[in-house]
Amino acid sequence: PPLELFSVPLPIPPVKEPKYIVPNPETGDDIQYYEMEIQPFSEQIYPDLGLTHMVGYDGMSPGPTIIVPRGTETVVRFVNSVGNTSPNSVHLHGSFSRAPFDGWAEDTTQPGEYKDYYYPNRQAARMLWYHDHAMSITAENAYMGQAGVYLIHDPAEDALNLPSGYGEFDIPMVLTAKRYNDDGTLFSTNGELSSLFGDVIQVNGQPWPFMNVQPRKYRFRFLDAAVSRSFALHFALTDDTATDIPFQVIASDAGLLEEPVDTEVLHISMAERYEIVFDFSNFAGQSIDLLNLPSVDGLGTDTNYVNTDKVMRFIVADETEAPDTSVVPATLRDVPFPEPGSGDFDHDFVFTRTNGQWTINGIVFTDVENRLLANVPRGSVQRWRLRNPGGGWTHPIHVHLVDMRVISRSSARGVEPYEAAGLKDVVWLARQETVIVEAHFAPFPGVYMMHCHNLIHEDHDMMAAFNVSVLAD
């Protein structure tokens, strides 16, 4: 594509302000009320081509960022102003939302309608994201723009003095991979039956951007919001891309890790979040590239293209504007790991391609009679075994409602240190891997979804339901 790499600055999604704040009549605490409109918009992405037409929250992609303090409830009215026939459903990924507000795929809002979603925000500080979840069109809706960041912060995390200031030293990094038509429009995912890897790597909606940074520490919050592409992220000097520069992973899907994990390569698959601190202080006046190992380091099955090994560039200033007083403490928090369940595993799920469809235990989500694959007593801790026997596919598995501890992985890489140090709501099942996870099925009862987060697999129809049931005494 006729696009100069690293020539446009990294956009930062704006912070969404509540429309009003009212007290909860029972608790007296604030409830923030937001309104977001799902709207078509056009943007000049390729200088020499036509406009790119998208549909996004408040007419932008990524959507605006919602930032809430832990314990402040929110109601978000999502208005479908798409104008054609496209329904939507909104899932706040990583939130323990009650089932009616969890973005159930068939609970769609039609053009001209709205739905108010209630979110408790009682979880510890973490990076959530909101995205479309409508039946069979999630891939197309999310890919055309319906995805945004939602941050919960809390006093415990704020007290650590990590690099802070949204958009200043605390930077959201929404990774996607897209494919464009010759006229500048996006190539549709609609005809795809297995994956759309995309040859254009974007961060916060911008292909291969750059960012001017100071020689100090930054917190980068990565989210892989791509339809099908996994990444193996690493940093190197522009002039010496063969030598990786180490960094610290501080948080994952469910917030801070127990302690920072040093690494040189970070594996991130679809819907996963990893937050890192990168220290530019030794690189004043230099330029550093964020890169992606081809073939995701042997784990992924992604198609590589000419520039998919590059993500973005950081131009480091000669000096800081003010001294960097932020720190990365040796201990970050006590992660609420569940008490171990009993036995090897309570449920066994196998993710395969069967007769041209993507299935879980041979079932597809459209098989309404059979798609409820597990009944789980509310409050119980269960171990689930997840298996991907295929050699050709990667399946990042997302279980709604819960945070999972990754107990074991069968392949040579084992459980990554940055997976083990925290809790996850998505776990990457690379080819031929078997992973055992453990979760506390709480706080709410209800029927929730679990699925592959390759959005094309999800739409066709690698998704199932589980029921968190209220225990009879």
Strand partners, 148: 63, 130
CB of 111 to Cu ion, least distance (A): 29
- Candidate list 16, 221, 424, 451; residue touching ligand C2O; CB under 6 A: 451
Q: Would you count residue 221 as binding ligand C2O (CB under 6 A)?
A: no
Q: CA angle, 355 as apex, 349 and 361 as ends, to 5°?
A: 10
Is cis: bond before 246, omega within 30 of 0? Answer: no
Q: Which does 449 bind (CB under 5 to 8 A by kind): ligand C2O, Cu ion, none?
A: ligand C2O
Binders in 25-44 for ligand C2O, by CB under 6 A: none
CA dihedral 212, 215, 219, 225 (to 10 degrees): 30
Q: Which does 457 bind (CB under 5 to 8 A by kind): Cu ion, ligand C2O, none?
A: Cu ion
Binders in 85-104 for ligand C2O, by CB under 6 A: 91, 93
How far is 136 from 461, CA to CA, in rounded Å? 8
Q: Which does 179 bind (CB under 5 to 8 A by kind): Cu ion, ligand C2O, none?
A: none
Q: Identify which range of 39-47, 58-66, 375-383, 447-455 contacts ligand C2O by CB under 6 A.
A: 447-455
Q: Would you count residue 457 as binding Cu ion (CB under 5 A)?
A: yes
Where are the strands (E) in 44-169, listed by range? Answer: 52-57, 63-69, 73-80, 90-93, 114-119, 126-132, 147-153
Position of minimal CB gap to ligand C2O: 93
How far is 162 from 437, CA to CA, in rounded Å? 29
Q: Would you count residue 398 as binding ligand C2O (CB under 6 A)?
A: yes
Q: Which does 93 bind (CB under 5 to 8 A by kind): ligand C2O, Cu ion, none?
A: ligand C2O
CB of 195 to Cu ion, least distance (A): 8
Q: Which does 383 bind (CB under 5 to 8 A by kind): ligand C2O, Cu ion, none?
A: none
Structure tokens, 135 = 């039946």
- Candidate list 16, 131, 219, 395; residue touching Cu ion; CB under 5 A: 395
56, 13 in Cβ contact below 8 A?
no
448, 107 in Cβ contact below 8 A?
no
Q: Would you count residue 133 as binding ligand C2O (CB under 6 A)?
A: yes
* Beta carbon nearer to ligand C2O, 36 or 271: 271
Q: Which does 395 bind (CB under 5 to 8 A by kind): ligand C2O, Cu ion, none?
A: Cu ion
Provide the mask over 340-369, with x wherever binding to ligand C2O is found by CB under 6 A and - wherever it is not. ------------------------------
User: Under 8 Å CB-to-CB from 92, ≥6 apart: which residues?
Assistant: 101, 102, 103, 117, 119, 128, 129, 130, 150
How far is 236 from 314, CA to CA, in rounded Å? 10
Q: What are phi and psi of 106, to 5 degrees?
A: -90, -5
Q: Would you count residue 452 as binding Cu ion (CB under 5 A)?
A: yes
* Beta carbon nearer to ligand C2O, 398 or 457: 398
Q: Which amino acid is at 270?
A: M
66, 57 in Cβ contact below 8 A?
no
Please give the residue ranges that form the binding site for ligand C2O (CB under 6 A): 91, 93, 131, 133, 271, 398, 400, 449, 451, 453
Please give the residue ranges that form the binding site for Cu ion (CB under 5 A): 395, 452, 454, 457
